[in-house]
Amino acid sequence: MTTVTRSPAGTQAPAGHTLLEGQIEAYKRDGFIIIEDVLQGDELSRVQAAFEKAQAVTRLDWEAGRAKGKGVSENGEYYASGTFHGRKYFDIYPLHLLEQDDACVEVIAHPQLFPFLSASVGEDVQTATIQVRVLEPQTAQDAQEEGGYVNWHRDHSSDEEWRFSGRPLNTKVLLYLTDVGEDDGCTACVPGSHLWDRRPDHLVYKGMGGGDNQATKVCDQRDMPGMVAAEVKAGSAFLFNTRLWHTTLPNTGDRDRWCVITLYCPFYQKQPGVTIEAAVALEAVGQLNTPERRQLFGLDMMSTSKNPYKRLAQHDGSDTDDRMFKGVRPPTLGEPLK
């Protein structure tokens, strides 16, 4: 199995290119990059302390639901109290982390991430979903029988935007708050698979334990041809095109894996309720106090746009206040851009 601890070869900016240009070149080629040390020192410590406080409360609900086996889904996962809690992991309500410390809000609009997000998704980028996830360790036997908590998959299969505009529809960022090695529930992916028109036989690989199709999963997750495992230290981020084929390897380490998973999208996509709820609450207490924060949480128009269409919240309903899709269209629909 191949592992990567930083962006693949070629990610570093070639002569005459900026670091951002090098990152974009690698992202287009491989479908992912790693940005190291997004959080460091006191900033990292503050976010970790806030995460610890938030997860301790949510864990009680998760453990109670899991003990009762409440809500067994078709694939054998357990869910507690109608949340997004699974048998191997649980998610914290995003606002419960964000409200703990201003450093947590900065995670979503961090200056080490924002330039890349603007360049990859577009200058009108905003936040779609925020997932605050705890992945607990599993036994070696469980890992061998079931694999990690999720199977090989791509988050989005629609490629219309990518084909016509040359940009991904979404970029997802996994910001890790714990060190993650190949045995700690790290993300694995197949570089370049975001460009595939084909689908691998992903259902033969283990992962997402339980369910009727578990018997068909005869291969280890690590047997996927061409896969690499992304090992990162706490405070670093794994950013990927959501068309990329990826999975999470088993966590057979000795501690929980903590990460904040944020999906970024163009402004014309709707934000889910939990993100809007967080934005309203943070705005009420004055924490959306920079142009970048206001843009990413969907309150203000993009501050540097050459074509500053208004946000949904600012639209007055008139035909002249137009926010139609502004992506570059080919002369004939269905014809890729040259």
Mean pLDDT of the chain, nearest integer: 82
CA distance 180 to 248: 11
CA distance 301 to 292: 10
**How large is the average pLDDT for residues 111-130?**
94
Using CA atoms of 30, 261, 276, 312 in order, give the dihedral in degrees to the nearest 10: -10
* Residue-range domain boundaries for the chain: 2-6+13-314
CA distance 229 to 13: 23
Q: Which helix (H) or strand (E) holds 55?
A: helix 41-68
Question: Residue 156 burial by CB count (10 A; 0-12/13-18/19+): exposed, middle or buried?
Answer: middle
CA distance 129 to 264: 7
CA angle (199 as vertex; 198, 202 as ends), nearest 5: 160
Q: Which CATH class is domain 2-6+13-314?
A: mainly beta
pLDDT confidence of residue 320? 39
Encoded amino acid at 123, one letter: E
Give the single-character DSSP code of 222.
G
Q: What is the tens place of the pLDDT at every residue in 41-67?
A: 999 999 999 999 999 998 988 887 777
Closest CA to 207 of 255, 116, 143: 143
Q: What is the largest CA-CA distance in the chain?
A: 62
Is pLDDT at 195 greater than 70 in this prediction? yes
Q: Which two tokens stand for residue 207?
A: 């992962």
pLDDT confidence of residue 184? 97
Give the single-character DSSP code of 195.
G
CA distance 287 to 338: 43
Give the single-character DSSP code of 243.
T
pLDDT confidence of residue 178? 98
Q: Which two tokens stand for residue 286?
A: 């004055």
CA distance 6 to 30: 13
pLDDT confidence of residue 69? 64
- Cβ 321 vs Cβ 308: under 8 Å: no
Is pLDDT at 299 greater than 60 in this prediction? yes
| pLDDT band at residue 158 using 50, 70 and 90 as cut-offs | low
Task: Identify which has the larger pLDDT, 165 or 21.
Answer: 21
Is pLDDT at 161 greater than 60 in this prediction? no
pLDDT confidence of residue 165? 54
Q: Which helix (H) or strand (E) holds 230?
A: strand 228-230
CB neighbours (10 Å) of residue 242? 21
Show Cβ contacts of residue 6 under 8 Å, excluding neighbours closer than 6 positions: 34, 36
CA 261 to chain centre: 4
